[in-house]
């Protein structure tokens, strides 16, 4: 297995190919590639990303079948099932890198801001479970001077939410905390721009 630094570089190079329109994705999802990963998988990175249909991790990082262990949930929040999935990947496959991938114009962030401001009141317990995980992270921002500029508020809220998820992954699981301390696993945050296709690593 490659190192976390090498895995991160592969993601950066893949995103550069995607942005430049030089994707190798077709080759990496071919029948030949499909047959290679039937018996086993060796994902070099775990991506905890948002469910947003515009942010498919394999495409924006230009990776193929078997390369990424992808977990998607609205708002890239961290709940026990996500932590368990990450634990499984790093223990089962020795995956050295975990990336929390947020993105611009995130609907889950916007919805949480609207709830904080009292503009909406969802009756869905399940939707509220997502908002309740994001709210404590961005509530202070909504009460600060940043909130006077809607775009700045969303930008800082997205990044704050990513950083909170990174921290949660690092410290909410004894297994992951130990692996991070032993430098066997690296956890970083990133933000995908819907407008440019560029992924910026923000940790």
Q: What is the pLDDT of residue 64?
A: 92
> Which percentage of the chain shows pLDDT scores above 90?
79
In a domain? residue 67: yes
Number of domains in the chain: 1
CATH of the domain at 72: 3.40.1050.10
pTM, whole model, 2 decimals?
A: 0.93
pLDDT at 170 over 90: yes
Residue 147 inside a domain? The answer is no
3-state secondary structure the chain: CCCHHHHHHHHHHHHHHHHHCCCCHHHHCCHHHHHHCCCCCCCCEEEEECCCCCCCHHHHCCCCCCCEEEEECHHHCCCHHHHHHHHHHHHHHCCCEEEEEEECCCHHHHHHHHHHCCCCCCCCHHHHHHHHHHHHHHHHHHCCHHHHCHHHHHHHHHHHHHHHHHHHHHHCCHHHHHHHHCCCCEEEEEEECCCCCCEEECC
**Is residue 27 a part of any domain in this protein?**
yes
Q: Is residue 152 part of a domain?
A: no
Does the residue 120 lie in any domain?
no
Considering the domain boundaries, does residue 174 fall inside one? Answer: yes
83 inside domain: yes
Q: How sure is the predictor about 123, in pLDDT bands with cuts at 50, 70 and 90? A: low
Residue 135 lies in a domain: no
Residue 122's pLDDT is 66
Per-residue pLDDT band at 124 (split at 50, 70, 90): confident
Digit-coded pLDDT (tens) for 40-59: 899 999 999 999 999 999 99
What average pLDDT score do residues 153-164 get?
96
Q: Which residue range(s) make up the domain with 185?
A: 4-105+161-201
Instruction: Please compute the mean of the pLDDT values over residues 147-156 and round it to a whole number.
Output: 91
């Amino acid at each position: 297995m490659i190192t976390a630094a090498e895995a991160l570089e592969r993601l950066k190079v893949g995103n550069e190919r995607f942005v430049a329109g030089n994707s190798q994705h077709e080759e990496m999802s071919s029948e030949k590639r499909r047959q290679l990963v039937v018996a086993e998988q060796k994902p070099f990175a775990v991506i905890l990303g948002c469910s947003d249909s515009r942010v498919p991790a394999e495409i924006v990082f230009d990776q193929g079948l078997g390369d990424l262990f992808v977990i998607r949930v609205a708002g890239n929040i961290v709940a026990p099932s996500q932590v368990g999935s990450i634990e499984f990947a790093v223990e089962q496959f020795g995956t050295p890198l975990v990336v929390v991938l947020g993105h611009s114009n995130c609907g889950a962030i916007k919805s949480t801001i609207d709830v904080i401001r009292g503009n909406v009141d969802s009756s869905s317990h399940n939707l509220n479970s997502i908002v309740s995980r994001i709210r404590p992270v961005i509530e202070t921002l909504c009460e600060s001077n940043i909130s006077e500029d809607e775009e700045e508020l969303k930008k800082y809220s997205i990044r704050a939410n990513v950083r909170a998820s990174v921290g949660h992954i690092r410290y909410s699981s004894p297994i992951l905390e130990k692996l991070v301390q032993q430098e066997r696993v690296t956890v970083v945050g990133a933000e995908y721009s819907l407008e440019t296709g560029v992924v910026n690593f923000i940790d």
